[in-house]
């Protein structure tokens, strides 16, 4: 059964959601991310997706203290991304308690360096975060377009041992108008056996079940959970099926 990974996006230490990656379209849901994390934990959640949006803009993580707090005060396994552009920042995130670390901009801009990290730290600890804008990976807090296609990058990284890739269609992110089903179908067809984690556009349980049908094993949900489009009761029942 598909695994739902609730998302916590951080700006100035607060739990927020953006729409289509627009920092000016920001809604604050809580000033205490730990409380939100504990609510997800109470629903039986195993994995938590944390994105340091401040770090993504600053090119270096700025909210590692929140990661450390959540990782040390809950049972949640936290995947963490945002500003991971050096070996030191990757190591710092792991030291702060990250279960696995998401690399986006650095993977797109310096694929050789990312490949080195993948080999050094292992495919269980390093994820590729492919945030797509008009079909191409976007970098630096989604503010710029990368030079490589996702297909070229995946071919290189999978050969080096990459096991999982988070794929986000920025145009869908935070809009709750449904994920890019055709995009995931195409990628699964081109790279069979690779674990694609769907992100962006989730609006209800029907979207999640449809993703499960096309072969997605993990899905990141944010605004749909915060807005009650997916209820805590539904999340509990889904987690019981894992």
Point out the residues that are catalytic.
9, 131
Distance, in Å, from the CA atom of 139 to the CA atom of 147, rounded to the nearest integer, reads 10
C-alpha distance from residue 113 to each of 24, 119, 171, 213 (Å): 32, 10, 28, 35
Burial (CB < 10 A; 0-12, 13-18, 19+), residue 28, is exposed
How many helices and strands, by DSSP H and E, does the chain display?
11, 12
The sign of the dihedral angle between the CA atoms of 120, 162, 195, 224 is positive
Distance of CA 116 to the CA centre of its chain: 21
> If you count them, how many residues does the chain have?
242
In 160-192, which residue ranges form alpha helices assigned H by DSSP? 181-190
| Straight-line distance from the first to the last Cα atom of the chain, in angstroms, rounded to the nearest whole number | 6
Of 224, 209, 228, the residue nearest 173 (C-alpha): 224
């Amino acid at each position: 059964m598909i695994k739902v990974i609730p998302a916590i996006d951080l700006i100035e230490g607060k739990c927020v959601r953006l729409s289509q990656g627009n920092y000016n379209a920001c809604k604050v849901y809580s000033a205490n991310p730990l409380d939100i994390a504990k609510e997800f934990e109470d629903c039986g959640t195993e994995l938590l997706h944390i994105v340091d949006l401040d770090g993504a803009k600053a090119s270096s993580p700025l909210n590692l203290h929140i990661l450390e707090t959540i990782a040390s005060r809950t049972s949640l396994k936290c995947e963490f991304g945002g500003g991971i552009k050096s070996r030191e920042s990757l190591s710092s995130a792991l030291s702060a308690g990250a279960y696995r670390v998401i690399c986006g901009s650095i993977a797109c801009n310096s694929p050789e360096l990312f490949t080195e990290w993948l080999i050094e730290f292992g495919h269980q600890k390093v994820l590729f975060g492919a945030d797509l804008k008009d079909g191409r990976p976007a970098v630096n807090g989604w503010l710029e377009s990368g030079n490589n296609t996702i297909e070229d990058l995946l071919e290189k990284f999978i050969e080096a041992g990459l096991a999982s890739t988070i794929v986000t269609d920025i145009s869908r992110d935070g809009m709750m108008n449904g994920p890019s089903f055709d995009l995931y179908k195409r990628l699964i067809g081109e790279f069979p056996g690779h674990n694609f984690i769907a992100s962006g556009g989730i609006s209800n349980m029907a979207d999640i079940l449809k993703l499960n049908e096309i072969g997605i094993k993990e899905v990141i949900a944010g605004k749909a959970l915060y807005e009650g489009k997916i209820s805590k009761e539904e999340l509990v029942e889904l987690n019981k099926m894992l």
